[in-house]
């Protein structure tokens, strides 16, 4: 008897698996769509070109090399230009401004892209649906048309002919190249053997010594020049303070001149006082002369008194000493009057020289003591 294996609630398990598969497919679709920005909001713009070789719907649109959208559709407008509708992600709409330009660029893998330049920040953004200014791309065929191939080929032929002529001349044993090489070989042989001026210079040891001595002198001269340069630099560093001192001295000259002017202005009154003093000088001299004559009499009297006092010296020693000092002071006074510049001409010369000083005079006490001995 055959028995069949049967799973209970098999249909339910199958339904659960199908639902899970559908859920996983939806989740994967959502993630892929987010990665490809299928659900991102896009803003349409228009661009027109004269030629669009290689462009088709889905061609990427880039700004500064970064993909920001794609081509939605293409059509010919009434002006026979290809009009493209491109869709840009809304977050990059602000980068498209009035001075932005669109052009067709070649991608690295050989395809084509539409490259849009970033506009100036001071320009307003273009509204959705506006036409972006464009620049038609230059194809290789257009570049070849601008190149003068015939002229270039002609120049290449001329260059080849010149090269051919040069190679023929180089192959000639009697040509200039072989002659130059022969002369060079001859010169190097003379240098090696020490012949000629240059050869002798290279082989002569005495000349080598002189050259080394000259080099040493040049080095010494350079060291002296370097030292002089350092001294000059030091002098140049000290020069600004000296110039500052000179400047301050020059600034003080006007003050000195002003003070000199003030002194000169005060000089006339002083000269006037001197004139007045000079006018009274004869009278003062006459008075001094009379005083001097009186002083002579006084000195004579003092001398007589001193002689009398000498007799009574043992009784009045202190009085005699005071009298001698008074005589000496009077003598000094008369000498001072004689040396004064105002009275020098009116005083008799030699006065005061006849009378010795107190220390030089004979002491009465010593005389009396000697007599007692």
Host H or E run for residue 74: strand 66-76
Q: Return all residues near 79 (Cβ < 8 A) that are at least 6 apart.
A: 48
Average pLDDT over the chain, rounded to an integer = 72
Q: How many domains does the chain have?
A: 2
pLDDT given for residue 152 in this prediction? 74
Q: Of 121, 137, 153, which marks where a domain is finished?
A: 137
Find the mean pLDDT for residues 45-74.
88
Stated pTM of the model: 0.35
Question: Is 264 found in the same domain as 149?
Answer: yes
**Which residues span the domain enclosing 102?**
42-137
- Tracing tokens 């005589």 back to the chain, one arrives at 327
Of residues 75 and 301, more confidence is placed in 75
Distance CA 320, CA 361 (A): 12
Distance CA 38, CA 34 (A): 6
Q: Of 137, 160, 184, which marks where a domain is finished?
A: 137
Neighbouring-strand partners of residue 48: 83
Question: Is 152 found in the same domain as 114?
Answer: no
- The model's pLDDT over 337-358, given as tens digits with 9 standing for 90+, comes to 556 554 455 555 554 444 455 4
Q: Is residue 216 part of a domain?
A: no
Question: Is 266 found in the same domain as 155?
Answer: yes
What DSSP character marks residue 131? Answer: B
User: Is the Cβ–Cβ distance between 305 and 322 less than 8 Å?
Assistant: no
Question: Is 153 found in the same domain as 63?
Answer: no
Distance CA 189, CA 274 (A): 106
Q: Return all residues near 343 (Cβ < 8 A) that are at least 6 apart.
A: 284, 285, 288, 337
- The model's pLDDT over 209-248, given as tens digits with 9 standing for 90+, comes to 777 777 888 788 788 878 887 877 776 677 677 677 767 7
What percent of the chain is modeled with pLDDT above 70? 53
Question: Is 106 found in the same domain as 73?
Answer: yes
How many other β-carbons are positioned within 10 Å of the β-carbon of residue 59? Answer: 21
Distance CA 188, CA 192 (A): 6
pLDDT band, residue 179 (cuts 50/70/90): confident
Q: Is residue 112 part of a domain?
A: yes
Closest CA to 128 of 89, 174, 161: 89
Q: Is residue 106 part of a domain?
A: yes
- What ranges make up the beta strands (E) of the chain? 42-49, 60-63, 66-76, 82-89, 102-106, 112-116, 134-135
């Amino acid at each position: 008897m055959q028995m069949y294996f049967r799973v209970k609630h098999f249909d339910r398990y199958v339904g659960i698996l199908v639902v899970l598969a559908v859920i996983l497919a939806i989740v994967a679709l959502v993630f892929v769509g987010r990665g490809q920005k299928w659900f991102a909001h896009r803003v349409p713009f228009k661009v027109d070109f004269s030629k669009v070789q290689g462009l088709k719907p889905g061609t990427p649109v880039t700004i500064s090399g970064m993909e920001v959208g794609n081509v939605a559709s293409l059509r010919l407008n009434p002006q026979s230009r290809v009009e493209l509708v491109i869709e840009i992600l809304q977050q990059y709409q602000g980068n498209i401004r009035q001075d932005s330009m669109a052009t067709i660029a070649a991608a690295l893998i050989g395809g084509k892209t539409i490259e849009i330049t970033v506009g100036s920040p001071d320009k307003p953004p273009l509204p959705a649906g506006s036409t972006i200014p464009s620049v038609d791309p230059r194809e290789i065929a257009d570049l070849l048309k601008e190149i003068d191939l015939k002229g270039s080929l002609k120049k290449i032929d001329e260059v080849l002919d010149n090269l051919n002529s040069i190679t023929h001349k180089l192959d000639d044993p009697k040509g200039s190249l072989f002659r130059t090489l022969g002369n060079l070989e001859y010169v190097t042989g003379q240098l090696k053997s020490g012949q000629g001026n240059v050869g002798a210079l290279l082989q002569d040891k005495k000349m080598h010594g002189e050259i080394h001595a000259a080099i040493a002198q040049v080095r010494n001269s350079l060291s002296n020049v370097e030292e002089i340069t350092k001294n000059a630099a030091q002098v140049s560093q000290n020069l600004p303070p000296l110039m500052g001192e000179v400047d301050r001295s020059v600034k003080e000259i006007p003050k000195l001149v002003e003070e000199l002017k003030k002194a000169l202005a005060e000089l006339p009154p002083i000269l006037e006082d001197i004139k007045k003093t000079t006018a009274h000088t004869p009278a003062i001299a006459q008075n001094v002369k009379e005083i001097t004559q009186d002083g002579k009499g006084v000195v004579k009297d003092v001398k007589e008194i001193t002689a009398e006092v000498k007799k009574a010296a043992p009784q009045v020693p202190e009085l005699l000493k005071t009298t001698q000092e008074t005589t000496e002071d009077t003598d000094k006074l008369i000498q001072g009057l004689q040396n004064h510049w105002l009275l020098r001409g009116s005083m008799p010369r030699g006065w005061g020289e006849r009378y010795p000083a107190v220390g030089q005079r004979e002491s009465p006490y010593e005389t009396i003591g000697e007599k007692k001995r």
